[in-house]
Amino acid sequence: MRPYFSEHFGNASSIHHHGQETRAAVERARESVAALLGCRAQEVVFTSGGTEGDNLAIFGIVRQGDHVISSTIEHHAVLNSCKHLQAIGCEVTYVPVDGQGLIDPDNVRRALRPNTKLITIMMANNETGVLQPVEEIGKIAAEADVYFHTDAVQAAGKVPLEVNRIVCDLLSISGHKMHAPQGVGALFVRKGTKLQPMLYGGSHERSRRAGTENVPGIIGLGKAAELAREGLARGDLARMSEMRDRIDQKILAEVEATSVNGKGAPRVPNTTNIYFDGVEGEALVIALDLKGLAVSTGAACSSGAIEPSHVLTAMGLPADRARASIRFSLGKQNTAEEVGFALKLVPQTVARLRELSPVYNKAAISS
Ligand SMILES: Cc1ncc(COP(=O)(O)O)c(C=O)c1O
């Protein structure tokens, strides 16, 4: 990326040689992203990230009076877009998930209506890592002649993403979830899809996304896509899923009143979400962070009140168990030593917080 901040600063839309050099690099990056997604380069639209890709897919397709099918566990980039659709006169059906966080494709089929325009269902959930049966959903959409968008932000680089196997018309990815920088992403738009742009301006990105390209970001996304594709082909992620499974096994064996949210469901290799009854997830995140371990909760903290995760509550977890859950995610650079450090730290920290917890004994008795 570095030369594209300095030596190669040309605007990719300029005719002079600086611009042409940059244009060639942007198009090479587009080829790399297309190779990761198994699509044509012309079907890749560069965006500012997952949120923009999700919004463009949804608002680019749906019009007032249309019906949309989504799910209860989508990222807010999709959920809040769907809420806005409802506010402007569209109908949205949110299909539920079961206790493992899985969508039943039959529920998607049953939700179809004559005016259904779009199905938007994520490929991998960002809190649990659970992979949805997108190939079956894609078939249902194709049979019904309805557009299918999948938010593959959490799946890109973690599992193979072939748009023709998924049978989707639109698929969004985000750079910062696959070792590219923040603020860049891409939307696959199948040839022939009638997409209304969200931004009006120049004819960049074949008039699907106006605005001068974020060249260094796009170069970074292209390189990350290339590395992700190579890594997937080499089976590099097996090491990550072994480390993730070790986290699950050790924590469940050593810490009582815990379990994996989404246990047994197919998941991306880098994520696990575990509840620790009697512990506040936020408190655990802070205590672990102070010792050098960065984990997260899915809960959004607004005006001092911690809302339990919509994903975990949709899976049937009671609010206190959802609040007691944290997500561990691994990157390519994580080592077995770091996992060992986490596995020492987590049981100690949970034990200390439970000692201080007025609710823990009750939780232990009720489980
Ligand atoms: C599943 C999912 N969709 C969309 C987004 C939004 O992507 P971005 O942060 O690039 O806007 C995220 C980010 O965490 C995500 O996990």
Render each residue's pLDDT in the chain as its tens digit; 367 residues.
999 999 999 999 999 999 999 999 999 999 999 999 999 999 999 999 999 999 999 999 999 999 999 999 999 999 999 999 999 999 999 999 999 999 999 999 999 999 999 999 999 999 999 999 999 999 999 999 999 999 999 999 999 999 999 999 999 999 999 999 999 999 999 999 999 999 999 999 999 999 999 999 999 999 999 999 999 999 889 999 999 999 999 999 999 999 999 999 999 999 999 999 999 999 999 999 999 999 999 766 655 667 899 999 999 999 999 999 999 999 999 999 999 999 999 999 999 999 988 777 755 545 5
- CA trace torsion 248, 249, 252, 253 (10° rounding): -160
In terms of Cα–Cα distance, which of 125, 86, 138, 89 is closest to 262?
125
Q: Give the ligand 1 atom nearest the CA of 54.
A: 4
Q: Give the ligand 1 atom nearest the CA of 50.
A: 7
How far is residue 300 from each of residues 246, 280, 286, 308, measured CA to CA in Å? 28, 13, 15, 8
Ligand 1: distance of its center to the CA of 53 in Å? Answer: 9
Ligand 1: distance of its center to the CA of 281 in Å? Answer: 21
* Residue 104: count of CB within 10 angstroms of its CB: 14
| Mutate which of 48, 55, 174 for ligand 1 pocket (most atoms within 8 A of beta carbon) | 174
**CA-proximal residue: ligand 1, atom 16 (nearest):** 126
Ligand 1: distance of its center to the CA of 75 in Å? Answer: 7
Q: In the numeric block, which tokens belong to residue 23?
A: 């244009």
Q: How high is the pLDDT of residue 298?
A: 74
What distance in Å separates the CA atoms of residue 327 and residue 334, rounded to the nearest whole number?
A: 15
**CA-proximal residue: ligand 1, atom 5 (nearest):** 50
Catalytic residues: 301
Q: How high is the pLDDT of residue 360?
A: 79
Q: In the numeric block, which tokens belong to residue 109?
A: 């089929």
| Mutate which of 52, 73, 74, 126 for ligand 1 pocket (most atoms within 8 A of beta carbon) | 126
Q: Side chain identity at 146, as an amino acid letter?
A: V
Q: How high is the pLDDT of residue 338?
A: 98
What distance in Å separates the CA atoms of residue 25 and residue 39, rounded to the nearest whole number?
A: 19
**CA-proximal residue: ligand 1, atom 9 (nearest):** 50
Ligand 1: distance of its center to the CA of 177 in Å? Answer: 8
What are the pocket residues of ligand 1 if the criterion is a CB atom closer than 6 Å to any ligand atom?
A: 49-51, 54, 75, 77, 122, 126, 151, 153-154, 174, 185
Cβ–Cβ under 8 Å, residues 10 and 20 = yes
Ligand 1: distance of its center to the CA of 158 in Å? Answer: 15
pTM for the model stands at: 0.96
- CA trace torsion 123, 335, 292, 157 (10° rounding): -20
How far is residue 279 from each of residues 43, 93, 223, 263, 272, measured CA to CA in Å? 47, 34, 41, 20, 17
Q: In the numeric block, which tokens belong to residue 282?
A: 């936020």
In terms of Cα–Cα distance, which of 59, 66, 93 is closest to 194?
59
**CA-proximal residue: ligand 1, atom 13 (nearest):** 50
> For 67, phi and psi rounded to 5 degrees?
-110, 140
Ligand 1: distance of its center to the CA of 49 in Å? Answer: 7
Q: Give the ligand 1 atom nearest the CA of 126.
A: 16
Cβ–Cβ under 8 Å, residues 243 and 202 = no
